[in-house]
Amino acid sequence: MKHVFIVNPVSGKADARKYLVPKLEQAAEQAGVDYAVETTQYKGHAVDIAQTLAEREDGQVRLYACGGDGTLNEVFEGVYRSGRHAEVASIPCGSGNDYVRTFGLPQDFLDFGSSIRGTAIPVDLIDTGRGICAALCSVGIDAEVAYNIPKYRRVPLCGGQMAYNLSIVERLMRPMGRRLRIEIDDEVFEGEYLICAVCNGKTYGGGYMAGPGADVQDGLLDVVFVKKISRLRIAGVLNLYKNGRHMKDGQVVEQFRDIMTYRRAKRVHIQPTDGGKVIANIDGECGPAPSLSAAVLPGAARFVIPEHLFNGSTYKTV
């Protein structure tokens, strides 16, 4: 099997070609594997690279997404389009690195030798109708905050957490909630909602654990949505939501049952009913959309778990 490292040079805080590629090459040479390095040159390039390699190698290739969740999403997308069963691995060096948090910590995936010796397991993906989603898609205040962050990053001396905080402040100054129609399999919910998150993986937004019980191998999506609430209550809700403590034993905790609903489903459709578009988040990529659809694709991809995480685990391998 060939091992190909698909490197996004602009992911993270430094040029990955300078600090990451030499380490990847050293690990591959020590492991004695046939390898190559491909560098992305534009948004969406990792999709093209992954599709081409998966088709050319007839699926007998392991593709390492070296970047953030956006790069990993593109590699999954390219392999899915190819119709082959090429393996996808992650070398997380972005800002969020949320997909790998379902299996461990981001640093667990930075042992390159362990990833090369790792084992691929079948994982579910989400078909959004606008592309593949690996971890989580959402509509609501979370997506709106993320959508505005790049605007503040262009301000001198305003990056990272400062840009995030300013985007939150701006969002809290505007009207809260949207009128939505949320279809979850055979159920329909209508009302004013603050957040609706559709989870395949557990976290998004750099560690917000929206779906603490989500399982990428169960063929189901975990759906959590929150009614419109006062600004005074938002801080308390988000604090527990960030740490996954809004759920316990597969149920919403009692203090949030008046505002929060949890379902497990195969299909979800979110449609605004108050006019205009929503900001849709798909694996951290946010933008205006008339609606958001999500359908689970059971076992649609093969993801590599590093050797030290796989040993002793209970992941299904077929």
Burial grade of 215 (CB within 10 A; 0-12, 13-18, 19 or more): middle
Residue 101 to residue 63: CA distance in whole angstroms: 19
Enter the tokens of residue 317. Answer: 């391998």
DSSP state of 100: G
Q: Where in the chain is the domain with CATH 3.40.50.10330?
A: 2-125+299-310
Per-residue model confidence (pLDDT) at position 277: 95
Q: Where in the chain is the domain with CATH 2.60.200.40?
A: 136-140+177-298
Spacing of C-alpha 151 from chain mean position = 21
Confidence of residue 14 (pLDDT cuts 50, 70, 90): low
Mean pLDDT of 245-264: 96
Per-residue model confidence (pLDDT) at position 160: 59
Residue 155 to residue 160: CA distance in whole angstroms: 11
Placement of tokens 């990792």 in the chain? 46
Q: Would you say domain 2-125+299-310 falls under CATH 3.40.30.120? A: no
Enter the tokens of residue 186. Answer: 């055979």
Average pLDDT in the chain: 92
Percent of the chain past pLDDT 90, that is, above it, reads 76
- Give me the amino acid identity at 265: A
Domain 136-140+177-298, CATH among 1.10.3720.10, 3.40.50.150, 1.10.10.10, 2.60.200.40 = 2.60.200.40
Residue 306 to residue 315: CA distance in whole angstroms: 12
**Cα atoms in the Cβ-side hemisphere of radius 13 Å centred on 310:** 16
Per-residue model confidence (pLDDT) at position 151: 74
Q: Does residue 236 carry a pLDDT above 90?
A: no
Residue 69 to residue 269: CA distance in whole angstroms: 23
Per-residue model confidence (pLDDT) at position 172: 73
Range name among 115-124, 165-174, 182-191, 299-308 with the lowest pLDDT average: 165-174
Which tens digits make up the pLDDT trace of 203-235? Answer: 988 788 999 999 999 999 999 999 999 888 988
Residue 302 to residue 89: CA distance in whole angstroms: 9
Q: Does residue 93 carry a pLDDT above 70?
A: yes
Phi-psi domain of 207 (left: phi exceeds 0; alpha: psi -120 through 50; beta: other): left
Would you say the pTM of this structure is higher than 0.85?
Answer: yes
Confidence of residue 159 (pLDDT cuts 50, 70, 90): low
Per-residue model confidence (pLDDT) at position 235: 82
Closest by CA position to 74, among listed 116, 23, 134, 21: 134
Rg over alpha carbons for the chain, rounded to the nearest Å, is: 19
Residue 164 to residue 162: CA distance in whole angstroms: 5
Per-residue model confidence (pLDDT) at position 161: 58
Spacing of C-alpha 70 from chain mean position = 8
Residue 169 to residue 318: CA distance in whole angstroms: 47
DSSP state of 110: G
Output the CA–CA distances (angstroms, integers) from residue 75 to 47, 61, 229, in the order listed. 5, 12, 38
Q: Higher-confidence residue: 30 or 13? A: 30
